[in-house]
Amino acid sequence: MAVSHDGWLAALVALGLALVSGTFVAGTIFQKSESSVQIVAAENAKAELKQKVQELELAVANARSEAQRLDQLLGAYKTAVEQRDARIAVLEGGARIPDNCLFIQKQIEELNKQLAGVDRDDVFSPRRTYEQKEAERNRLDNRLAQLIPQLGLAKCGAAP
Confidence band, pLDDT 50/70/90 cuts, at residue 26: confident
Strands (E), the chain: none
Q: Write out pLDDT tens, residues 68-114.
A: 998 898 888 888 888 888 888 777 765 665 556 777 788 888 888 88
Return the domain boundaries, the chain: 39-96, 98-160
Confidence band, pLDDT 50/70/90 cuts, at residue 3: low
DSSP 139: H
How many Cα atoms sit within 13 Å of 73 on the Cβ side? 6
Q: Write out pLDDT tens, residues 125-135.
A: 566 677 888 88
Quick one: pLDDT at residue 65? 92
